[in-house]
Amino acid sequence: MTPAPTSSLDLCRPEARSLPIYNAGISERTARAKYNLARVTKLASNENPFGVSPAVIEVFERAFHQIYRYPDPKCTALRERIQALNAIEADRIVFGNGSEDIIEMLCKALLSPGDRVVTLAPTFGLHEIFPLMMGATVDKVRINADFGYDLPLWRRSLCRAPVKLVMFSTPSNPVGCILRTAEFRELINAAPPDAVLVVDEAYHEYAAHEDYPDSLKLLSAQPRPWLVLRTFSKAYSLAGLRIGYGLASDAELVSILDRVRTPFNVNSAAQEAALAALSDAEHLQATVSATARERDLLADRLNSVESVQGYGLRIAPSRANFLFIDTANSSREIAEALLRLGVIVKPWLEPGYDTFIRVSVGRRADNEHFMEAFEHVMRRRQIDLG
């Protein structure tokens, strides 16, 4: 008798079978092909629309001539540069294939089935997916009615049961809110003494003003182990090369992460490009300032439309390079309607926030294209709903 074929799903860990799938969005090419579009504006992935520094372009020829070599597994030159910029010991820096690679390392190294992770809601999907992958439980603390951190709710959640990992972003993704210095101190002090604190600062270049906390200073003043995550994907425009880094409380934590990472996880071109990007502070500041101006103009335009039309929109104040917009409609339907008009945004599908879309800030023409399409979609829905 021929045995029944074995299902791949039967061989999988239960945690893997039940994982939610990260919504990575679609490419411009896919959008064009789906609806035969002549123009596509991609505002879904929080990329820097102003592009890389000319210094990055200059290093690429040198990097390409070396692609037959394995990359430096320790990212030595880049490590030395980040060490100098942050006044931190070299052995307290870890690198990843994007900062999400480091989140995965953390979860592999630290979490066991049944461990508890506390994070924000709504949240960057991988703050939830990677802990679940390891069999941990994830408790999410909702934002308040003003689209900010609900600190009393955080305090209650952090003291309710043992916590292994406390992970949050500031500016938050997808909302764009920040923890100010006093709030930051209050949240980390509320964490259990044996919890690991993980602060995701993927968008910190957009928020670094007088009320934005010096996370390294504040974290260093308390006893818990910690890691601050940063990336070159956003403000530095290197999303396609995948490179991020973490600044840790101690070398021991980095040593643990090094045990679970792949040995050549950051490619040579990414290392060279990151070094070049760090050398051009003027380009960084120019593009960050331009993005902030466009973000505020776009938010003002959306609020003006709402005041006149009364669609039920709510726009979260943002300190990042995106806006989180409650459309008062199905986010999936709004995003699909926008896609038909050549605009890619990210529908937020997290339970409790599935009327929200996240819209990346683009160049002026991109933002105008979004507004034209969005107003058209909202007008049509208002008419259709009578």
Quick check: 79 pLDDT over 80?
yes
Q: Which two tokens stand for residue 354?
A: 């599935």
Q: How many CA atoms lie within 13 A of 332 on its CB side?
A: 5
Entry pTM: 0.95
Please name the residue that has the structure tokens 């999988």.
12
What does DSSP say about strands 356-360 and 346-347: parallel, antiparallel, or unpaired?
A: antiparallel
- Ordered domains of the chain (ranges, CATH): 8-51+283-384 (3.90.1150.10), 54-278 (3.40.640.10)
Q: Which two tokens stand for residue 71?
A: 């990359």
Eight-class DSSP state of 91? G
Per-residue pLDDT reduced to its tens digit, 318-329: 999 999 999 999
> Residue 149, Cβ neighbours under 10 Å: how many?
25
Per-residue pLDDT reduced to its tens digit, 351-383: 999 999 999 999 999 999 999 999 999 999 888
Quick check: 350 pLDDT over 70?
yes
CA distance 288 to 295: 10
Q: Which two tokens stand for residue 236?
A: 């530095």
Per-residue pLDDT reduced to its tens digit, 129-180: 999 999 999 999 999 999 999 999 999 999 988 999 999 999 999 999 999 9
When pLDDT is averaged across residues 224-240 and rounded to a whole number, the result is 97
